[in-house]
């Protein structure tokens, strides 16, 4: 799917992006710390995933399974997004965080010595039965997270090695490997995730570095938002080099401006160094990002007083009103939520956070009343593997996730809303 063809596809793809369909009001503030209450989870006799009563999961695929295109499922599944497909189907786009290796098909690989990429699963909407699966992108490096957009899946390379560190646009409807489509205008850095605003065409991006910045790409044209534009970094008005990761209190709000990153390809200086020289704020290990309503959410994986994570919300301004950044939650103590990574906002508005910390890793729901509820816990190998790729089907019935080290992709279903309300 070349950039020149994007406009003709936009209406069809837009209708199917569940990540962009959140209608609930998200203007609330989490009042309490992120707690690690173990919650009413039941032991899993299969030893894979612990869930509350009335919830169930099924295994969609394992690393090494044979796909429809005759390639095998790569290991290390990471970020994902779900799109609506034809014939009552859901389409799951799945990253693989692989560095060294070889492309599935050298003729279609972005680089000959890299094994990362993106695979695609097509499922029935009712029972999540996998109808088909195939490679879409291959030969990239450390495809970590990314983001959904009306134009397709944005897959991010989490690396700064020469020739890599880009965002790639991937077609959710591709039934076979596609030619790689890097998006250099979104910058070259250790990309983690993208939160795309369909109203403005702005891409908000995180960077997984201890001294990272928060970025946005402002397109020259909304109809072709990845063809050209300006890369900018978040700055707190009136304070150069503001540190968002330490000394902050829940509920603090900051007025935001954006400073230019003049050399987005980072040929001579990293984008974050460029950002900080312009007064850009420091963000410690920016990971998960998600756009919902008129807000972008960002996880700082080891920010906060316990160095176990923060969640910030950027409320997009309009007219003369500037953007504002709010610290909505953070781990205040050593037994709290441990290093939130992937994030998803459910269609009804609750925020779901997946842990990438010490065992056992789980998924927490953050509710508007300030409480956090443990929804799931990895039961394999003492729960040491991160839970990655959390995303909902557009109808809210299925929560998809990966157990990364074990190479499993799962679909979870149950009374999500009732569970969060009753906990």
> One digit per residue, pLDDT tens: the chain, 423 residues?
433 333 334 433 443 443 333 333 233 333 334 555 545 799 999 999 999 999 999 999 999 999 999 999 999 999 999 999 999 999 999 999 999 999 999 999 999 999 999 999 999 999 999 999 999 999 999 999 999 999 999 999 999 999 999 999 999 999 999 999 999 999 999 999 999 999 999 999 999 999 999 999 999 999 999 999 999 999 999 999 999 999 999 899 999 999 999 999 999 999 999 999 999 999 999 999 999 999 999 999 888 888 888 999 999 999 899 999 999 988 887 777 788 889 999 999 899 999 988 889 999 998 776 678 899 999 999 999 999 999 999 999 999 999 999 999 999 999 998 888 776
> How far is residue 182 CA from its own chain's centroid?
18
Residue (of 188, 172, 206, 207) closest to 82 by Cα position: 172
Query: Do residues 400 and 80 make contact, with C-beta atoms less than 8 angstroms apart?
Result: yes
What does the alpha-carbon distance between residue 67 and residue 73 come to, in Å, rounded to a whole number?
Answer: 6
Query: Do residues 118 and 94 make contact, with C-beta atoms less than 8 angstroms apart?
Result: yes
Which residue segments constitute the domains of the chain, with CATH numbers given?
23-422 (2.120.10.30)
Identify the sign of the CA torsion 369, 375, 381, 387.
negative
What does the alpha-carbon distance between residue 104 and residue 144 come to, in Å, rounded to a whole number?
Answer: 18
Query: Do residues 337 and 308 make contact, with C-beta atoms less than 8 angstroms apart?
Result: yes
* Residue 20 vs residues 150, 205, 315, 331, 391: alpha-carbon distances, Å: 8, 16, 16, 27, 12
Q: CA angle, corner 265, sides to 260 and 268, nearest 5?
A: 90
CB half-sphere exposure, 232, CA atoms < 13 A: 17
């Amino acid at each position: 799917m070349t950039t020149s063809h994007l406009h003709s596809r936009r209406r069809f793809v837009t209708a199917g992006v569940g990540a962009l369909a959140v209608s609930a009001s998200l203007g609330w503030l989490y009042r309490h710390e992120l707690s690690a209450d173990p919650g009413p989870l039941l032991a899993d006799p299969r030893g894979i995933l612990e869930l509350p009563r009335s919830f169930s999961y099924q295994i969609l695929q394992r690393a090494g399974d044979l796909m429809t295109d005759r390639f095998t499922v790569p290991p290390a599944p990471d970020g994902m997004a779900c799109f609506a497909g034809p014939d009552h189907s859901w389409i799951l786009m799945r990253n693989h965080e692989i560095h060294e290796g070889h492309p599935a098909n050298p003729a279609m690989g972005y680089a000959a010595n890299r094994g990362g990429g993106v695979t695609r699963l097509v499922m029935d909407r009712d029972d999540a039965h996998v109808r088909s699966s195939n490679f879409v992108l291959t030969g990239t490096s450390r495809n970590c997270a990314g983001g959904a957009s009306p134009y397709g899946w944005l897959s991010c390379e989490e690396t700064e090695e020469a020739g890599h560190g880009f965002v790639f646009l991937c077609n959710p409807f591709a039934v076979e490997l596609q030619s790689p489509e890097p998006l250099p205008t979104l910058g070259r850095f250790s990309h983690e995730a993208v939160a795309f605003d369909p109203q403005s065409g702005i891409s908000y991006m995180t960077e997984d570095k201890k001294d990272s910045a928060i970025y946005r790409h402002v397109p020259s044209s909304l109809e072709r938002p990845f063809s050209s534009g300006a890369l900018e970094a978040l700055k707190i008005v009136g304070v150069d080099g503001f540190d968002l990761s330490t000394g902050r209190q829940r509920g603090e709000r900051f007025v935001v401006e954006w400073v230019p990153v003049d050399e987005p390809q980072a040929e001579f200086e990293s984008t974050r160094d460029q950002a900080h020289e312009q007064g850009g704020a420091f963000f410690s290990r920016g990971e998960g990002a998600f756009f919902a309503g008129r807000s972008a959410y960002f996880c700082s994986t080891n920010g906060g007083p316990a160095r176990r994570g923060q969640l910030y919300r950027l409320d997009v301004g309009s007219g003369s009103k500037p953007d504002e950044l709010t610290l909505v939650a953070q781990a205040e103590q050593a037994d709290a939520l441990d290093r939130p990574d992937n994030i998803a906002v459910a269609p009804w508005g609750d925020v779901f956070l997946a842990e990438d910390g010490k065992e056992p890793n789980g998924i927490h729901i953050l509710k508007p009343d300030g409480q956090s509820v443990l929804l799931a816990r990895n039961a394999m190998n003492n729960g040491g593997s991160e839970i990655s790729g959390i995303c909902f089907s557009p109808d809210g019935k299925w929560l998809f996730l990966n157990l990364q080290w074990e190479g499993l992709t799962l679909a979870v279903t149950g009374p999500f809303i009732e569970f969060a309300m009753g906990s």
